[in-house]
Amino acid sequence: MPGEILDNRGRGTAGFTWPTIHPEGRRFGAIAGVVFLLGGLFGGSLLGWPLALLTLGVLAFFRDPERVTPRDESLIIAPADGLITQICTVVPPREMTGDDGSGLPGLGDAPVTRVSIFMSVFDVHINRTPIGGTIRRVVYIPGKFLNADLDKASEENERQHFVVERGDGVRVGFTQIAGLVARRIVPFVKAGDIVACGQRIGLIRFGSRVDVYLPVGTEPRVLIGQSVVAGETVLAQLGECLMLEGVRQ
């Protein structure tokens, strides 16, 4: 059940449950369902079967499964399902570093490690906060709809920046980036909200990417080409700078 505490000593229960459909997707599912019924009524099976698959695909896209988030304040958790496609050192976007008029600090302009997670249309598109704390910034920027896997998508695509600050002042920034098919970023939180690590903070419709800006002195625990799970996979541990290698097999 939601909120249940589980551990690595056997506490808790587990079993398969069908994921719920997020409310944001129910109207899309309803529209697809009506089109399916009309298509089946007037077009027969020639239209009915493809439209039935489309309806199921729409519902699957907006699925919202429960996740088990590790409880350790030193951990940074993956905010998105998908594939690690880029790990590089960059200066965070100016919307995260400059003065936003609130008097609250941003990430600073020192180079940091950016981890990019690419979400295909088959991944869950509900995004979660990588750390718990206070939402200090939510900055939406309209833009283009380039392939989200391209590096310049971070600067040219429709995107939404978040900065979350823990109680001890540690700040982590992350960005939702719309993709080639995506046309809408939907936030669930606003500046000033207090969130728990792994809490849902928004979604991107139909294929996209999330960039995470790790604090200075922290390197990722994930590798290029690795698949991660939002709210569960440990992306990094604060202050840890280990060199990791993997083998594709």
Catalytic residue numbers read: 208
Q: How far apart are CA 84 and CA 57, in angstroms?
A: 24
Contact 216, 109 (CB under 8 A): no
Q: Which residues contact 84 (CB under 8 A, 6 or more apart)?
A: 115, 116, 117, 220, 222, 223, 224, 225, 226, 227, 228
Q: Assign 22 to helix, strand or coil.
A: coil
CA-closest candidate to residue 81, choices 131, 113, 150, 127: 127
95: tokens are: 């919307």
Residue 97 phi/psi, 5° resolution? -105, -35
- Counting Cβ atoms within 10 Å, is residue 93 exposed (0-12), middle (13-18) or buried (19+)? buried
